[in-house]
Amino acid sequence: MNPILRDNFGRTIDYLRLSVTDRCVLRCQYCMPKGFKDFAEPGGWLSFEELTRLVAVFARLGLRHLRLTGGEPLVRRDLPVLVRMLAEIPGLEDISLSSNCMRMEKLAGPLAEAGVKRLNVSLDSLRPERFREITGGGRLDKVLRGIEAAREAGMWPIKINTVAMKGFNDDEFDDLIAYCVEHGYALRFIETMPVGDTGRQALGSYLNLQRVRQELVERHGLVPASMVGAGPARYYRVPGSETRIGFITPISQHFCATCNRVRLSCEGDLFACLGDEHRYGLREPLRAGCGDEELAEHVLAAINLKPERHEFNERQEKVVRFMSMTGG
């Protein structure tokens, strides 16, 4: 089967973000409400075999890059087993992981050995009390040890993802840059997005990263740069180091024209756009016993739902699901 994953606007889709669970050990303010318990039932989650079969169909259609997300993917029991199964799929070139790293210290070795190559870490503050506040009780020391364990296990590059929030962590940007330069990590600042009620509430702390970028470029002498697996980020290099600073700007300067990704929930719903509520259910045909060719037709039909662009600015109320359902 020739690579044919292309949407109605000519964009090649070669990147899948696969949510293996919607559960998480943290409650970040912009992602999930405190006390939220309306999670998908484990019986509705796709099994490892079902996930592997679907990804294999995607790969035959041209998928090359896979990122495991959640919720928090390390909550899914026996995750290294799934990674090992996925790593054997022909045509799949890269498996990466997005994590808060609260459970990474023990799992880094098994995950890297199974096939995880790269890591993105959610880290919005380097101050323990502030980190605990934004995450609803998270421990910064555990996260930092988890990141170090991932580096020692061979995951590289490691990208630190920081949601930029006015009046909360905008006084830490220089500290975050210094931390990443010290350890050789990349740093990506991300604008808040109106995904779910929590995301819309977080817009009260919205920071336009166009201005932040200009300030940091001038203060640190940042120079334009590229990076492997850049995705939607626009990167700059910190002079005298290999550290890249990226800016992800879905609100102030969207990147929809070059979007190459779709998202699959743990229940088998394919979301063609993070900023759209349309979903295509793949679990029912999968469990109904359809063959791979028929599954491929369902995947292609789902890709055709991908809109030309999101409407975060025009229709902030549009996306009602929480970010944890699709892993960002």
pLDDT one-digit tens code per residue, 86-110? 999 999 999 999 999 999 999 999 9
Going by pLDDT thresholds of 50, 70 and 90, the confidence category of residue 307 is confident
pLDDT above 70 (res 204): no
Domains of the chain, by residue range, sit at: 15-325
Give residues with Cβ within 8 angstroms of 39, minimum separation 6: 22, 23
Topology (CATH) of 15-325: TIM Barrel (3.20.20)
Percent of the chain exceeding pLDDT 90 equals: 72
The whole-number pLDDT of residue 309 equals 73
pLDDT for the residue numbered 183: 98
Short-list 103, 104, 93, 147, CA closest to 123: 147
What would the mean pLDDT of 315-322 be, rounded to a whole number? 46
Predicted local confidence at residue 172, as pLDDT: 98
Beta-carbon count within 10 A of 292 CB? 13
- Across residues 196-211, what is the average pLDDT? 68
CB distance 161 to 172 below 8 Å: no
pLDDT at 41 over 90: no
- Distance CA(277)–CA(321), nearest Å, equals 8
Alpha helices in 88-195 (DSSP H): 104-114, 128-135, 140-153, 173-183
How far is Cα 155 from Cα 112, in angstroms, rounded to an integer? 6
Dist. CA 43–CA 223, nearest whole Å: 49
Strand pairing of 65-69 and 244-248? unpaired
Work out the pLDDT band at 196, boundaries 50, 70, 90. Answer: very low
* Least confidently predicted of 94-98, 210-214, 311-315: 311-315
Angle between helices 48-60 and 79-87 (to 10 degrees): 30
Confidence of residue 164 (pLDDT cuts 50, 70, 90): very high
Q: Quickly state the pLDDT bin for 63 (edges 50, 70, 90).
A: very high
Place of tokens 């606007």: 9
Retrieve residue 4's tokens: 């044919």
Per-residue confidence (pLDDT) for residue 32, from 0 to 100: 74
pLDDT at 316 over 50: no
pTM summary value? 0.90
- Between 244 and 32, whose confidence is greater? 244
Confidence (pLDDT) at 213: 95
C-alpha angle 301-316-198 in degrees, rounded to nearest 5:
100
- At residue 206 the predicted structure's pLDDT band, cuts being 50, 70 and 90, is confident
Phi-psi sector, 184: left (phi>0), alpha (psi -120 to 50), beta: left
pLDDT above 90: residue 160: yes
pLDDT digits (tens, 9 = 90+) for 217-253: 999 999 999 876 656 889 999 999 999 999 998 888 7
Read off the amino acid at residue 63. L
- Answer for the pair 75, 100: CB distance below 8 angstroms, yes or no: no
State mean pLDDT over 310-320: 48
Residue 195 — pLDDT band, cuts 50, 70, 90? low
Residue 100: how many CB atoms within 10 A of its CB? 25
Residues 6 or more apart whose CB falls under 8 angstroms from that of 288 comprise none
> Chain-wide mean pLDDT for the chain?
89
Q: What is the pLDDT of residues 271-303, one digit of tens each?
A: 988 777 788 999 999 999 999 999 999 999 999
| 6 has a pLDDT exceeding 70 | yes
Residue 3 CB neighbour total at 10 angstroms: 15
H-run or E-run covering 121: strand 118-122
pLDDT higher than 60, residue 328: no
| 255 against 295, higher pLDDT | 295
What are 128's two structure tokens? 């323990």
Contact in structure between 72 and 96 (CB atoms under 8 Å): no
- At residue 262's C-alpha, the angle toward residues 258 and 265, to 5°, is 155
Tokens at residue 280, please?
């295509």
pLDDT at 35 over 80: no
**pLDDT surpassing 80 at residue 311:** no
Cβ atoms < 10 Å from Cβ of 141: 10
Single out the residue of 75, 67, 12 nearest to residue 263, CA to CA.
Answer: 67
Apex 79 CA angle, 5 and 265, nearest 5: 40
* Dihedral over Cα of 236, 239, 244, 250: its sign: negative
**What is the structure's pLDDT at 200?**
46
| Residue from 323, 286, 278 nearest 304 by CA | 278
